[in-house]
Structure 1
Amino acid sequence: MMDADHQSDLYGRLDKALRRHGLMARGGLHMSEDADLAVREYGFRSIVLAGHAGSSFWPEFETYRETYGGAHPLDAWSRVVGQEIESEFGCKALYPFEKPWWPFQSWIKRTEGLKPSPLAILIHPDFGPWHGYRAAFAFREALALPAPVSLAHACDSCVDKPCVASCPADAVALHNFDIKACRSHLASDAGRSGCMVSGCLARNACPVGPQYRYTEAQRQFHMDALEPLPS
């Protein structure tokens, strides 16, 4: 059991440790025994989400990738960072890319109140669609955490919706994202010379958070990492 002084500043220290890697703490929540699998089966009482805005982590990741020869390098790098945090803080790292499939989307909505854009990506009022989550850190103690917030949904005040008009595959609609139409386009000559080179044209057209737009190398990496849909 950690003492009160140690517990009270843990969130700030965890955020500082994550920022060494270009990440940051993105809110936390207390688990409810009657609602959360994490409490019922694993005994976790507090969760702190870890993510990034823009390409903040990219320089360190590129350095890591130069010497990593395996598959899924971003996931592998995330585990390296996660293991460091586990060792330093005595917590358990949970990841959105491996089983058991933790309810990251639910946690994000509970901590920041984010909602999906027409691109089916959670949009942030400052970062736009240029952000993500790499891990969550689970503690068996009830930590002192920032209060959950309900951030404004940027799409509500976006009149022109340029993401819809800019999609060359007509895959983006206000309340639906046609992933099959998107992937079919990416496999075409136009898609290979367009979105697959510059990044998703609809995402690039989003007017929110342009200063956080991923670097060209990062956009290329994410496009190359897309797995084909099952036939």
Structure 2
Amino acid sequence: MIFSLIEKLAAPSGLFVMGAFHPRRVYQADDATGTLVLLGADKTCWPKFTASTEYRDGAPDPLDRWSKRMIGWIANEIGAKDVYPSDGPPYAPFIGWALNTNRFFKSPTGMMVHDTAGLMISIRGALRFDAEIELPAATAVSPCLSCADQPCVTACPVNALSADHAYDVPACKAYLDTAAGQDCMTRGCKVRRACPVSQAFDRDPAQSAFHMVSFKG
């Protein structure tokens, strides 16, 4: 089974299948064919990435370059086309793809939440197949439905996530420049950390700090 082979090839790099779907069954269009499989970073990814040439060579965009090398190799091994969120414009609709896998959902904050990664989502790329490969049934439900306290809603220290889900990026970045904001810079976004599923996913804080530096620019 190709799906099992993808999981096997991805695991040594700290990547895992975050979701997959058949576009024809979702979009119901003649030109929506094949299969899309989304690969993301699991909690073992960080030490493998930091041991890589890309991390150490000082060139720009080390994680994107490493992801392309790892996922490109998998694509070559199994006869798929590799696609990446960083390639564009035009950019591939990764958010729409993710939500169509029935493993990603909208959280109360407006951020996407994943059934096993919570708010600690790092989609590194996708594999596109011309054929419809067999996929396991996607039976996940949003973890937010059983989260009574919803700590993510009140976790942001500057209320950068408003009630209508408008994300105040300037307010967030300004806070990161303050002494109090260093907790978010070095350990990751407090909203993402507040999610119980994120906590169980146990991502290395150094990985979150890396993403925060990239986000802040």
Task: Report the TM range for the smaller structure's normalisation.
Answer: 0.7 to 0.9
Aligned AA (2:212): M
For residue 116 of structure 1, report the CA deviation from its aligned partner: 2.4
1:127 and 1:212 in contact (8 A); partners too:
yes
- Residue in 2 aligned with 1:6? none
- Residue in 1 aligned with 2:215? 226
TM-score (norm 2): 0.85
TM-score (norm 1): 0.80
Q: Which stretch of structure 1 is more off in the superposition, 136-145 or 111-120?
A: 111-120
Distance 2:174 2:28 in 1: 38
Q: Which stretch of structure 1 is more off in the superposition, 168-177 or 92-101?
A: 168-177
The structure having more radius of gyration, on CA atoms, is 1
Distance 2:50 2:196 in 1: 27
Aligned AA (2:2): L
2:104 and 2:113 in contact (8 A); partners too:
yes
Q: How many residues align?
A: 214
SS in 2 for 1:167: coil
Q: Within the alignment, does 1:84 sit opposite 2:73 as a pair?
A: yes
Distance 1:201 1:34 in 2: 34
- Mapping 1:8-19, distance limit 5 Å: 9-19=1-11
Q: Report the aligned-residue RMSD.
A: 2.6
For residue 95 of structure 1, report the CA deviation from its aligned partner: 0.7
Residues 1:61 and 1:103: Cα distance change in structure 2 (over 3 Å):
same
SS in 1 for 2:59: coil
Distance 1:85 1:116 in 2: 29
Residues 1:126 and 1:89: Cα distance change in structure 2 (over 3 Å):
closer
- Residue in 1 aligned with 2:59? 70
Distance 1:126 1:26 in 2: 9
Aligned AA (1:69): G
- Residue in 1 aligned with 2:91? 101
Where does structure 2 lack aligned partners over 5 or more consecutive residues? none
Distance 1:220 1:194 in 2: 9
- Mapping 1:29-44, distance limit 5 Å: 29-32=21-24, 35=27, 40=31
